């Protein structure tokens, strides 16, 4: 199949920032793109060949969109699985496959998958609703503190809450959920694995994530992670095991905890380009987005090594600001060496909404981390 400067059509479900960054590489290769997103102001709209507005959870919308393209991928997991399964049964290449997505889309099923495949993960209980969780708690089957997660529709720290006292249960929604033992960990790590249908597989270096204490969102992604080689090897080996068991095609971001005694356990996965890989646009030989594209088109995978140390700073909406977005002091950071901002194109900001990121590429990790802090303290995402 000739993908380049040809009639080939790639479909992307979801038109957010991940799709927008993926489209940078489709344009580089001159690949025709079709994007479906519920919002008429989706970041992808300016960068694709054909944009369609529609509900990603609606069977007919997703099915009819899929009929227009030759290969279908997604940049968000919340899509209609039945439509993807029907398209695949009719011969459309859907990557990652609906089977992979079905195991991942629901966090309860995802946790069960790890247990079934002897992949280390935090002990947990599944509940059909909040009421059942409360009954288990009153029967002393759950020890405080624990981590509550809704099984579906959670993202970016939404749908996750640390339960430290009984009263914390009162504010939770009555949905299917899991209660997970709280693991005291040293580090949150992630490894991105890319795999093509021919079975070629590569991992990116282990990255370390520094979180915002209140928003439960990543503030910095640091590559390479500041951990010893034995822990890094263990993390990469576990990520490969997870990837092989899911049998995915495309990218799989495996988020992990490094425990106090240097064990590595899996927290959760995402079958798509991921926040923990954004640094790769500037710091790696092949970005995660280009490798996602290579993987789903069954092309040889690119080199995943880093050229320099890379740190990514998330730009999120400032507290107390909602409305038309303004990026304050962006021109100041543009004068700094090795600093590259990425603005996602969302017109409206609100507190903690992901609005962009900045990458710092530097041969010296300590210097990169210092500049990252300066970026964080300089640029502000506010409203008009």
CA distance 38 to 15: 8
CATH 3.30.470.20 describes domain 185-383: yes
Say if residue 384 carries a ligand binding annotation. no
CA distance 340 to 361: 8
Q: What is the CATH number of domain 9-94?
A: 3.40.50.20
Q: Do 76 and 229 contact (CB within 8 A), yes or no?
A: no
Say if residue 107 carries a ligand binding annotation. yes
Say if residue 268 carries a ligand binding annotation. yes
CA distance 216 to 158: 8
Say if residue 152 carries a ligand binding annotation. no
Say if residue 307 carries a ligand binding annotation. no
Count CB neighbours of 363 within 10 A: 10
Domain residue spans in the chain? 9-94, 123-181, 185-383
Residues of the chain below pLDDT 70: 155-157, 215-216
Q: How many residues does the chain have?
A: 384
Class in CATH terms, 123-181? alpha beta
Q: Do 231 and 205 contact (CB within 8 A), yes or no?
A: no
Q: CA–CA distance from 315 to each of 2, 310, 330, 353, 360 (Å)? A: 38, 16, 11, 8, 13
Please choose, from the candidates 344, 349, 316, the residue with its C-alpha nearest in 3D space to the C-alpha of residue 216: 316
Compute the Cα dihedral for 359, 360, 365, 369 and give only its sign. negative
Say if residue 86 carries a ligand binding annotation. no
Say if residue 367 carries a ligand binding annotation. no
pLDDT digits 0-9 by tens, 280-321: 999 999 999 999 999 999 999 999 999 999 999 999 999 999
Q: Do 259 and 188 contact (CB within 8 A), yes or no?
A: no
Q: Do 287 and 367 contact (CB within 8 A), yes or no?
A: no
């Amino acid at each position: 199949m000739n993908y380049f400067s040809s009639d080939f059509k790639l479909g992307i479900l979801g038109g957010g920032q991940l799709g927008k960054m993926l489209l940078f590489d489709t344009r580089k290769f001159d690949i025709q793109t079709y994007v479906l997103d519920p919002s008429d102001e989706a970041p992808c709209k300016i960068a694709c060949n054909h944009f369609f507005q529609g509900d990603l959870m609606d069977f007919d919308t997703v099915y009819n969109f899929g009929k227009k393209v030759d290969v279908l991928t997604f940049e968000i997991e919340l899509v209609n699985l039945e439509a993807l399964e029907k398209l695949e049964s009719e011969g459309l290449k859907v990557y990652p496959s609906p089977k992979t997505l079905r195991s991942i889309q629901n966090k309860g099923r995802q946790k069960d998958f790890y247990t079934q495949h002897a992949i280390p993960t935090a002990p947990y209980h599944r509940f059909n609703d909040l009421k059942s969780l409360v009954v288990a708690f009153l029967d002393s089957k759950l020890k405080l503190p624990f981590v509550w997660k809704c099984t579906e529709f959670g993202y970016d720290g939404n749908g996750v809450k640390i339960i430290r006292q009984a009263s914390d249960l009162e504010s939770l929604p009555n949905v299917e959920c899991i209660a997970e033992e709280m693991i005291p960990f040293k580090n949150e790590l992630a490894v991105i694995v890319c795999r093509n249908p021919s079975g070629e597989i590569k991992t990116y270096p282990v990255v370390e994530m520094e979180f915002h204490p209140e928003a439960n969102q990543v503030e910095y992604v640091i590559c390479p992670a500041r951990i010893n080689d034995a822990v890094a090897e263990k993390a990469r080996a576990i990520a490969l095991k997870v990837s092989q068991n899911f049998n995915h095609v495309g990218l799989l971001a495996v988020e992990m905890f490094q425990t106090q005694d240097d064990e590595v356990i899996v927290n959760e996965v995402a079958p798509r380009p991921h926040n923990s890989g954004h640094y790769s646009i500037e710091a790696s030989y092949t970005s995660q987005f280009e490798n996602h594209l290579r993987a789903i088109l069954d092309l040889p995978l690119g080199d995943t090594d880093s050229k320099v140390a890379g740190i990514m700073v998330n730009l999120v909406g400032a507290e107390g600001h909602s409305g038309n977005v303004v990026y304050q002091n962006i021109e100041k950071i543009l004068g700094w060496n090795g600093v590259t901002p990425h603005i996602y194109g969302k017109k409206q900001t609100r507190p903690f909404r992901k609005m962009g990121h900045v990458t710092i590429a530097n041969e010296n990790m300590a210097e990169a981390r210092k500049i990252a802090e300066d970026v964080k303290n300089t640029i502000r995402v506010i409203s008009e």
